[in-house]
Structure 1
Amino acid sequence: MIRLHKKKSELTADAIVNTIWVSTFLALVLTLPALGVFLGIYFTTSNLLVGAIVGFGLHFVALAFSDRISRFLTRLLS
């Protein structure tokens, strides 16, 4: 049988709201620049492959720094 440890942790409404805002802003920071670069390259050069590669690369570079971005957003919104 699986036994789950019950920890007493009180989550306040402020902590939950802060978590939701940080998650939302992190999602925006990770997706919108890559999408903007992809669409910008696609509409200016009409080259879908180059836009996809550059946008995909930018997205993963942003993912590499997501821990730092998350900590910054948490400090900013706290």
Structure 2
Amino acid sequence: MIRFPKKKNDISTETMINTIWVSTFMGMIFSLPPLGIFLGIYFGTGNLVIGAVLGFGIHFVTLAFASKISKFLTQIMS
């Protein structure tokens, strides 16, 4: 029989709220700028392909720095 270790249930409220805020800000940082670039290029020039390529490119560039962004936001929120 497989026995799994018990989960920790002693997470403080402050830690949980901090985690939620950092996750929310990271989601906005990773999604809003690429979306703005995509929509700006699409509505400005009418070219869907260039907007999509640049939007995805910016999205993945910001994902490359996810750990640094997370550490920075955690320092600010603490």
Question: 1:72 aligns to what?
Answer: 72
Instruction: Work out the number of aligned pairs and report it.
Output: 78
Q: Which consecutive residues of structure 1, in runs of 5 or more, have no partner in the other structure?
A: none
Quick check: 4-13 or 22-31, which moved more? 4-13
* TM-score of the two chains, using structure 1 as the length reference: 0.93
1:6 shift after superposition: 2.6
In structure 2, the CA distance between the partners of 1:51 and 1:8, relative to structure 1 (3 Å rule), is: closer
Identical aligned residues as a percent: 56
Question: 2:37 aligns to what?
Answer: 37
Q: Which consecutive residues of structure 2, in runs of 5 or more, have no partner in the other structure?
A: none
Question: 1:58 aligns to what?
Answer: 58
| Runs of 4+ residues over 3 Å off in structure 1 | none
CA distance in 2, matches of 1:7, 1:45: 53
